[in-house]
Amino acid sequence: MTAAIRTEGLSLSLGGRAIVRNVDMTVPDSGVYGFLGPNGAGKSTIMRLIVGLLRPAAGTVSLFGENLAQRPRALLGQVGILIESHGLYEHLTGRENLLLACRLRGIDRRDIGRVLDAVAMHRAADRPVKTYSLGMKQRTALARALLGQPRLVVLDEPTNGLDPEGIMAMRDLIRELPARFGATVLLSSHLLGEVQEVADHIGLLRQGELVAEGPLRALSETEPLIAISTDRQTEARAALLALGLEEDRDSGDERLVFRMGRLTAAQINRSLVESGFAVSALAQESHGLERLYRDKLGSQPSFEAHSEQENRP
């Protein structure tokens, strides 16, 4: 598999504390990779390591099949970055900010029109950035990251703090990047819903460790569950275990939850009724990625945007 990013044994400690722990990560070319984990999990730190803002204590980073440490200037010249804040000069206009970026990076200024059109900021480009909404600032920062037609775009919490309209606009832009611009996207977020909307592949990070990685669809296809309520829950639990079913962690006294295995809902219901149970409720469930998140990270995923920032080294 062609990889835009590959890390092997990536590790970093700061102040005697392990921040990144032996991360082996593969970001396939020409897609959107969603990097998920709670605030403080180390997502931003790994992104800084990938784009050369931090040096690892151990391990390697490869971009486009080449070791970053051996050719940093050439490789990072093909990467667009939006990490932490937008970093725009607020007394300058949006266009002036992009012109400054072109001069610093040796990019033809004619590319400014292309990226402004891409993020729908052409009409506001000649206004001072200080008059922009947060969503407009984020779109302008994304335009700056797209200058020079990068092969890889690294976005750290790009919807953080945006209102619902800004989140939807940013989501649409991110979703279009691979097909429209030929760029691979590495996107970090603590918001499960945002990643589900745009990502092809995901990685789950917990306390600096990558605990799961793979295609979103494959990781979301969990074994179906069945939730059951009867007139005698304790005896029903024993009967379901006797059928060879495995009880799920969400099961309780009022609502039994079991993994269905090879049985159908109809077969389970018939077995209970024939055993003399009065079944008052029976429903098949599948929580997909949400359940994987909880199982792997041990916490409830976030679905709503807020302004809390990840702890940074």
Q: Please name the amino acid found at residue 276.
A: G
pLDDT of residue 150: 95
Residues 176 and 235 in one domain: no
Residues 194 and 236 in one domain: no
- Determine contact, residues 121/94, Cβ cutoff 8 Å: yes
Question: What is the 3-state composition of the chain as percent helix, strand, coil, each rounded to the nearest 5?
Answer: 35, 30, 35
Q: Determine the pLDDT at residue 147.
A: 96
In a domain, residue 91? The reply is yes
189 and 65 in one domain?
yes
Q: If you search the block for the tokens 């292309």, which residue do you land on?
A: 114
How confident is the model over 93-115, as pLDDT tens digits? 999 999 999 999 999 999 999 99
Q: Is the pLDDT of residue 178 over 70?
A: yes
Is the predicted pLDDT of residue 272 greater than 80, yes or no?
yes
Do 101 and 30 share a structural domain?
A: yes
pLDDT of 309 strictly over 70: no
pLDDT at position 87: 87
- The range of the structural domain enclosing residue 229 comes to 225-286
Query: Rounded to whole angstroms, what are the CA distances from 73 to 63, 68, 133?
Result: 12, 9, 33
Into how many domains does the chain fold? 2
Residue 49 within a domain: yes
In this structure, of 141-155, 185-199, 248-262, 286-300, the range with the lowest mean pLDDT score is: 286-300
**pLDDT at res. 254:** 85
In this structure, is residue 309 part of a structural domain? no
Burial of 266 (0-12, 13-18, 19+ CB in 10 A): exposed
Q: Are strands 152-156 and 184-189 parallel, antiparallel or unpaired?
A: parallel
Answer whether residue 296 is part of any domain. no
- Confidence at 153, pLDDT banded by 50, 70, 90: very high
Q: How far apart are CA 130 and CA 94, in angstroms?
A: 10
C-alpha torsion sign, points 38, 44, 45, 50: positive
Task: Give the β-pairing of 184-189 and 32-36.
Answer: parallel
Higher local confidence (pLDDT), 302 or 285: 285
- Confidence at 222, pLDDT banded by 50, 70, 90: low
On whether both 98 and 73 belong to a single domain, the answer is yes
Quick one: pLDDT at residue 1?
58
Q: Is residue 308 one of the residues assigned to a domain? A: no
pLDDT bracket for residue 78 (50, 70, 90): very high
87 and 192 fall within a common domain: yes
Q: Tell me, yes or no, whether 133 and 259 share the same domain.
A: no
SS3 label, residue 136: helix
Residue 149 shares a structural domain with residue 117: yes
Residues 202 and 261 in one domain: no
Residue 303 lies in a domain: no
pLDDT of residue 177: 92
Taking all residues of the chain, what is their mean pLDDT, rounded to a whole number? 88
pLDDT band for position 305 (cuts 50, 70, 90): very low
Distance CA 184, CA 27 (A): 8
Q: Could you tell me if 129 and 246 lie in one domain?
A: no
Q: What is residue 190's DSSP assignment?
A: S
The pLDDT score that the predictor gives to residue 286 is: 61
The pLDDT assigned to 34 comes to: 93
In this model, does residue 311 exceed pLDDT 50?
no
Report whether pLDDT(50) > 90: yes
Are 51 and 200 contained in the same domain? Answer: yes
pLDDT higher than 50, residue 307: no
Please indicate, yes or no, whether residues 93 and 52 belong to a single structural domain of this protein. yes
User: Rounded to 5 degrees, what angle do the CA atoms 200, 205, 206 make?
Assistant: 155
Task: Confirm whether 257 is domain-assigned.
Answer: yes
pLDDT of residue 299: 61
Q: Per the domain annotation, does 313 fall within a domain?
A: no
Q: Which of 45, 66, 43, 64 is nearest to 54 (CA)?
A: 45
CATH number of the structural domain spanning residue 152: 3.40.50.300
Angle between helices 233-242 and 265-274 (to 10 degrees): 120
| 184-189 β-sheet, strand order | 79-82, 152-156, 184-189, 32-36, 201-206, 209-215
Residue owning tokens 């789950």: 204
